[in-house]
């Protein structure tokens, strides 16, 4: 599916809306109860709803460029116990509708390959992260299993001023994926 629109949003929500990487990946990440968490390419909002159990005093913000996907995320979150702490906004990775230096944690779970301009998206992630904030990338299928592809992504992250502090290949709940944890490198 190369063109994302309302129809593909419906398809994605029905096939991958509660995809296991949202839970398994997030369970690997330290999150403070008062964190501000931004999910870039939030899809149905599954990762944010899962994170809300640990982010009990913070805010959770989902960004997705497809208006229908945001509608679906809002519908799925409407009756959730943390609904008042989860907000969804239409926006792209390349123009995040989030204030500078406001996020403690930014997620890109199975979304970074869909960004139109990855370098610009990474610059936006760095812009919204507080100093010492973290950016977590999950790529389903371990970046096609290629060491060269993993190195290329690691290089891109570091060139954007996001220091890769951890990378690991993961599996669980029937999925395999690569997980990168990066820190805002203030000097870059």
Asked if the model's pLDDT at residue 139 lies above 50, the reply is yes
CA 184-29-170 angle, to 5 degrees, is 110
The rounded distance, in Å, linking the Cα atoms of 125 and 71 is 23
pLDDT at residue 9, rounded to an integer: 81
Asked if the model's pLDDT at residue 44 lies above 70, the reply is yes
The rounded distance, in Å, linking the Cα atoms of 65 and 173 is 28
Give pTM, 2 decimals: 0.92
Asked if the model's pLDDT at residue 149 lies above 50, the reply is yes
Mean pLDDT of the chain: 90
pLDDT at residue 36, rounded to an integer: 98
How large is the angle between the packed helices 118-128 and 147-159, nearest 10 degrees? 50
Residue given tokens 């944010």 in the structure block:
48
CATH of domain 6-184: 3.40.50.150
Q: How many CA atoms lie within 13 A of 157 on its CB side?
A: 25
Q: In 3D, which of 178, 109, 111 has the Cα closest to residue 145?
A: 178
pLDDT at residue 151, rounded to an integer: 87
For the segment 84-108, the average pLDDT, to the nearest whole number, is: 97
Higher-confidence residue of 165 and 4: namely 165
Domain ranges, ordered by start, for the chain: 6-184
What percent of the chain shows pLDDT beyond 90? 68
pLDDT at residue 14, rounded to an integer: 83
pLDDT at residue 2, rounded to an integer: 47
- Region of residue 135 (phi > 0: left; psi between -120 and 50: alpha; otherwise: beta): beta
Asked if the model's pLDDT at residue 145 lies above 80, the reply is no
Asked if the model's pLDDT at residue 3 lies above 90, the reply is no
pLDDT at residue 124, rounded to an integer: 98
The structure tokens listed for 157 are 């992250």
């Amino acid at each position: 599916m190369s063109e994302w629109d309302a129809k593909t949003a419906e398809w994605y929500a029905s096939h991958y809306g509660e995809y296991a990487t949202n839970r398994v990946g997030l369970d690997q990440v330290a999150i403070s109860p008062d964190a501000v968490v931004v999910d870039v390419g939030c899809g149905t909002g599954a990762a944010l709803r899962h994170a809300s159990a640990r982010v009990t005093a913070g805010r959770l913000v989902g960004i997705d460029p497809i208006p229908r996907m945001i509608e679906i995320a809002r519908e799925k979150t409407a009756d959730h116990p943390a609904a008042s702490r989860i907000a969804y906004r239409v926006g792209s990775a390349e123009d995040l509708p989030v204030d500078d230096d406001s996020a403690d944690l930014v997620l890109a779970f199975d979304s970074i390959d869909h960004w139109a301009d990855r370098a610009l998206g990474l610059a936006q992630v760095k812009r919204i992260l507080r100093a010492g904030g973290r950016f977590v990338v999950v790529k389903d299928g371990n970046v096609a299993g290629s060491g060269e592809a993993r190195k290329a992504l690691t290089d891109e992250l570091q060139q954007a001023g996001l220091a890769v502090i951890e990378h690991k290949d993961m599996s669980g709940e029937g999925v395999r994926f690569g997980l990168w944890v990066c820190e805002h490198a203030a000097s870059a």
